[in-house]
Amino acid sequence: MNPHRFNPPSPSSVSSLFLRFSILLLLSLPDAKGKAIWTAHLNITFQVGNRIISELGENGVFGNHSPLESVSGAVVLPEGWNQNACNPFTNFSRPEKADSWVALIERGGCTFTHKINVAAEKGANGVIIFNYPGTGNKVFPMSHQGTENIVAVMIGNLKGMELLHLIQKGVYVNIIIKVGRMHMPWLSQCVMFLFTFVSATVAYICLYCAWTSDISVAYTRRRRQVKADVKKAIGQLQLRVLREGHKEVDPHEDTCVVCFDAYKPQDVVRILTCKHFFHKTCIDPWLLAHRTCPMCKCDILKR
Ligand SMILES: [Zn+2]
Ligand SMILES: [Zn+2]
């Protein structure tokens, strides 16, 4: 391979290509204008026997149309054979001692807006909706347009079922819902993408530098080897001292094609493998630079 002919793309051109690609990708992200997600801290308190149990966890997320406010009260279930509160006449079994209450409703059967409105019309201060069975503790920000005056959060199915079973056993459960932390899913995607982009660029530049360095070292080594071979080949070429009477010193004969001087007695000439000869002082530097006979282009390394 001839390194002079090798012309790889420069790191700067590849970096600019990466950059253009990343900007295009960022612009095409579907959630680039998405809303922030707010988590909800749930402080749950209930009494079992003489023991008061209290637990605090970041178990929920606020709905997209919920006010970001704290709300508290007794957790109350919808009456009836299911907990989805889709029937507009659903009643809630509110404990007498509860001043304020929060409805615990199961997801499904009708829209989030419908459920929340049913609970709000019955006087709930807030609504907790728990996810479908089989979804573990997965939650997402609900869409419930038209219910902007009541706090609505989603919790996972496991946590919802835990509360449901406690209340069905007659345990009075109190809850305080507080605004937790903000998450920006699209921002995380951007950060992840930029991290990948920077890592890929750095890795490429490192590989490129290592690669060109290897090529350069190999090329220098090869040049040194060729030069040593040429020097050795020159040393093996025959030398001759011209004398009076030799036909080469005849003024009508050819001159040295390197210096254009005629050959004279006592001149030292170097005879190449092609039988062409020249002044030693003329041809040795020429061969070191060109390796070939100046007349017939014969390569001294090949003969
Ligand atoms: Zn000469
Ligand atoms: Zn020759």
How many domains does the structure of the chain reveal? 2
| Same domain assignment for residues 249 and 172 | no
Q: Kindly state whether residue 22 falls inside one of the protein's structural domains.
A: no
Q: Which residue has the higher pLDDT, 244 or 176?
A: 176
Q: How far is the CA of 281 from the centre of ligand 1 (A)?
A: 7
**What pLDDT is recorded for position 193?**
84
Extract long-range pairs of 229-234: CB within 8 Å, 24+ residues apart.
229/301, 230/287, 230/288, 230/291, 230/300, 230/301, 231/288, 233/287, 233/300, 233/301, 234/270, 234/284, 234/287, 234/288, 234/300
Q: How far is the CA of 230 from the centre of ligand 2 (A)?
A: 16
Alpha helices, DSSP H only, in the chain? 11-28, 112-121, 157-168, 185-236, 280-290
Q: How far is the CA of 282 from the centre of ligand 1 (A)?
A: 5
Kindly identify the ligand whose nearest atom is closest to the C-alpha of 248: 1
| Same domain assignment for residues 165 and 57 | yes
Mean pLDDT of 230-259: 89
Q: Would you say residue 26 has pLDDT above 60? A: no
**What pLDDT is recorded for position 184?**
77
Q: Kindly state whether residue 15 falls inside one of the protein's structural domains.
A: no
State the chain's mean pLDDT as an integer.
Answer: 86
| Same domain assignment for residues 75 and 175 | yes
Q: Kindly state whether residue 178 falls inside one of the protein's structural domains.
A: yes
Kindly identify the ligand whose nearest atom is closest to the C-alpha of 242: 1
Q: How far is the CA of 143 from the centre of ligand 1 (A)?
A: 96
| Same domain assignment for residues 173 and 246 | no
Q: How does DSSP assign 187-244, residue by residue?
A: HHHHHHHHHHHHHHHHHHHHHHHHHHHHHHHHHHHHHHHHHHHHHHHHHHSEEEE--T
- For residue 234, what is the domain's CATH number? 3.30.40.10
**What pLDDT is recorded for position 103?**
96
Q: How many CB atoms lie within 10 A of CB 236?
A: 8
Q: How far is the CA of 142 from the centre of ligand 2 (A)?
A: 90
- Tell me the pLDDT band of 1, cut-offs 50, 70 and 90: very low
| Same domain assignment for residues 233 and 121 | no
Mean pLDDT of 180-204: 84
Q: How far is the CA of 14 from the centre of ligand 2 (A)?
A: 49
Q: Kindly state whether residue 193 falls inside one of the protein's structural domains.
A: no
- For residue 94, what is the domain's CATH number? 3.50.30.30
Q: How far is the CA of 267 from the centre of ligand 1 (A)?
A: 9
| Same domain assignment for residues 44 and 163 | yes
Q: Residue 254 sits in which domain range?
A: 223-303
